Chain A
Amino acid sequence: MAATASEGPFSRALPWLVPLALIILWQVSSSLGWLPPNILPAPTAVLQAAWVKLQDGSLVDNLGVSFARAMSGLIIGGAIGFSLGLLNGLSKQAEMLLDPTLQMIRNIPHLALIPLVIIWFGIGESARLFLVALGVFFPIYLNTLHGVRNVDPQLIEMGRIYGMNNRTLFLKVILPGALPSIFVGLRFALGVMWLTLIVAETIAANSGIGHMAMAAREFMQTDIVVLSIVIYAILGKLADSATRALERKFLAWNPAYAKV
């Protein structure tokens, strides 16, 4: 039953039916004047806004700025979280020294630091970078630590019996064993990354998608505001798909990830 439903073009189209229906409903409501444009512009109006912004180049510029911010924050925070997760996962002493403090800091919502961050860094690039890096740090750290800690000890003993040195043991046993958990962390981190960036760009920025939305708000350009929201959604979806592709490549051995 479930097996037959997963074949064929009809089932491939199935997930798209509801979104498509909603968009059609939205367009019809706008065209009939049920939805005033200053509340919600029609999908065609949003597309038109996208075209205009594409032609004057500002969409690509702002998109590039936002993307670069997201990636640099992810790389900085992710690298620190990954390294500390490995360190604390591999060394009991390091974990006892650092983990309690990190667990304490984790309970502070990082967006609560915005006023402090603005005082420290002003509203420049470093403030946004700091916030994004801090936001992605914890999911990556926690899941890397968890992954390394939960590698099957029997596999580690096997590696030792077969004479693996520390380096080989790490590369062939511990890291691949921790990878599924690290990917879970990466997924969480991507969500936090976009969220943090949206907030940071909306509050304090003079470029980027969030800034584009806030500038449009001043002139009541709802089409551009909605466009910004749609772009954030697309970016989030793209990041998620990229992670899925990476999972399929690196976790192909795991039946849970193979060819879903």
Chain B
Amino acid sequence: MSSQPTGGSRVSLKDVKKAFGSNVVLQGIDLEIPAGQFVSIVGKSGCGKSTLLRLMIGLDSVTAGVLDAPALKEQAARIVFQEPRLLPWASVKDNVAVGLGEGQSGKAADNQAAAILDEVGLKGREGLWPSQLSGGMRQRVALARALVSQPTLLALDEPLGALDALTRIDMQALLEGVWQDLGFTALMVTHDVGEAVALGDRVILIDHGQVVLDLPVNLPRPRKRGTPEFAALEGQILDKLFGDDPRAREAH
């Protein structure tokens, strides 16, 4: 019993602007994201990454411009945060069932939950409390909860940001595998340029509320970090991020 591919859905933004009161956070955003693409979004803190993500999955509305995402009408967009946000008083299985929405229970729901837990490598842990899991396992439960309703669009806001370096590497591989199996469109915000290049079909760099770099990554998967091609792409992004400040770049 495993999860069936769900496929992805496209997202398109035309001259999108987002302001909170007089504070303009995003401006002139034009993006065409085809179905099933893995998009990495990077940028300095406070540049508007989370805001862009929330717009694209319908948690916030645009101030001006046009956002077109079929997943929103079908309620097929989900988000995973940096913190797993699991209910501590619900078992792993019941936490995943939250993702099925109101009034979904019974045999079919159980099967769906079991299949997605298998997909994220948590088979046999259905009955545990979140407090009995490691940080990486908790984030897998959060991923399963987001995926159990078979979304076609998945936003990930620094999903691995709270994990230690070794767990991160594991989880990157898991994320890539799940995305390849299910085929949803993935939008991932990350602070880690290496992670962005390792996972993205494309890396988008946001600065002061605008897209300043939109870089395709045409490397075969799974990607090896040490290669010159990989390093060249990382360098290109870091150059754009830090401009001519070599010390800031060195620190990264």
What residues make up the interface of A, taking CB atoms closer than 8 Å to B? 152, 154-155, 157-159, 161-165, 168, 172-173, 176-177, 179, 251-255
Indicate whether B164 reaches chain A with its CB closer than 8 angstroms. no
Q: Which 6 A-B pairs have the closest CB atoms?
A: A176-B89, A158-B85, A253-B89, A253-B129, A163-B101, A255-B131
Whole-angstrom CA separation of A164 from B85 in the bound complex: 15
Interface size on B (CB < 8 Å)?
18
The interface residues of chain A lying within 8 Å CB-to-CB of B88 are 253-254
Tell me how far the C-beta of A113 lies from the nearest C-beta in chain B, rounded to whole angstroms: 38
The answer to whether B131 and A168 touch across the interface, beta carbons within 8 angstroms, is no
The interface residues of chain B lying within 8 Å CB-to-CB of A161 are 59, 79
10 A-B pairs with CB atoms under 8 Å apart are A155-B85, A155-B87, A158-B98, A162-B98, A162-B99, A162-B145, A163-B75, A168-B102, A253-B131, A254-B131
Tell me how far the C-beta of B106 lies from the nearest C-beta in chain A, rounded to whole angstroms: 17
Whole-angstrom CA separation of A155 from B87 in the bound complex: 7
Whole-angstrom CA separation of A172 from B100 in the bound complex: 14
In B69-127, the 8 Å CB interface with A consists of 75, 79, 81, 83, 85, 87-90, 98-99, 101-102
Whole-angstrom CA separation of A255 from B59 in the bound complex: 34
The answer to whether B129 and A154 touch across the interface, beta carbons within 8 angstroms, is no
Query: Which residue of chain A is the closest to B142 with respect to CB atoms?
Result: A158
Tell me how far the C-beta of A248 lies from the nearest C-beta in chain B, rounded to whole angstroms: 14
The interface residues of chain A lying within 8 Å CB-to-CB of B99 are 162
- Which of A157, A158, A163, A252 is close to B102, meaning CB atoms less than 8 Å apart? A163
Query: Which residue of chain B is the closest to A177 with respect to CB atoms?
Result: B89
The answer to whether B102 and A165 touch across the interface, beta carbons within 8 angstroms, is yes
The answer to whether B85 and A176 touch across the interface, beta carbons within 8 angstroms, is no
Q: A162-B101, A176-B90, A255-B131 are in contact. List 19 more A-B contacts (CB 8 A).
A: A152-B85, A154-B85, A157-B85, A158-B81, A158-B98, A161-B79, A162-B99, A163-B75, A163-B101, A168-B102, A172-B90, A172-B98, A173-B87, A176-B87, A252-B129, A253-B129, A253-B130, A253-B131, A254-B88
Tell me how far the C-beta of B145 lies from the nearest C-beta in chain A, rounded to whole angstroms: 8
Whole-angstrom CA separation of A71 from B70 in the bound complex: 58
The interface residues of chain A lying within 8 Å CB-to-CB of B85 are 152, 154-155, 157-158
The interface residues of chain B lying within 8 Å CB-to-CB of A176 are 87, 89-90
Whole-angstrom CA separation of A106 from B98 in the bound complex: 40
